[in-house]
Structure 1
């Protein structure tokens, strides 16, 4: 989306994000890099991970044999695409780090969602 299109969307109060609301990148700005040849390259700006200790814990989940993070996200958060939220809450860079039988996972509200910590 061009800068002028983004300005029109913002003026009208419309969402200019390239990512859906449930995406880990929702609300993250994009940038444009112009190379020395004049080529413009769009990119997503850096997403900083939240401190897990600042997230409100809704419940805990103990991983069973054969569990996958997308299935855990579906059963606890209602959306398999929110697996990244479990990664954030449990300081994991890769979903496979959390798919260990017997591991207890924190299921939390997303960063910025009001709620008492360790609710």
Structure 2
């Protein structure tokens, strides 16, 4: 049995185990917490999210960047949800989503939409 106050609150349902929605890149990533020397419950934080390897991401199409495109607009058009821009970033192995659309004519891999 744990005596960790934050874990007890999570288990009691007072703190959601994942405060992030299903479209968030952090959905399902466990929470950690920092306990101060004073013993108070501390500060919750998100543990490390490991980006999947490109070889493990199913790519279904390729898109050529045109003028005025932005990552979230591309995600809305290709994946059906602007909040899924991070899936495009993961599939193209970039940490800055704007790197996807900064260069006209750049090829962007489009991953399989969620749920397929």
RMSD, matched Cα: 2.0
Q: 1:26 to 1:8 in 2, by over 3 A?
A: same
* TM-score w.r.t. length of structure 1: 0.80
* TM-score w.r.t. length of structure 2: 0.81
What per-residue deviation string (whole Å, max 9, x for no partner) do you get for residues 71-103 of structure 1?
A: 000000010111111000001110121112111
2:106 to 100, 103, 107: 103
Match of 2:39 in 1: 38
Aligned residue pair count? 107
Match of 1:48 in 2: 50
Unaligned runs of 5+ in 1: 10-14
| Aligned-partner SS, 1:31 | strand
Task: Work out the CA distance in 2 between the residues paired with 1:95 and 1:31.
Answer: 26
Match of 1:27 in 2: 28
Q: With CA pairs under 8 Å and 6+ residues apart, which has the higher RCO, 1 or 2?
A: 1
Unaligned runs of 5+ in 2: 1-5
State the 1:7 CA deviation: 1.9
Match of 1:6 in 2: 10
What per-residue deviation string (whole Å, max 9, x for no partner) do you get for residues 31-54 of structure 1?
A: 111122334111100001111121
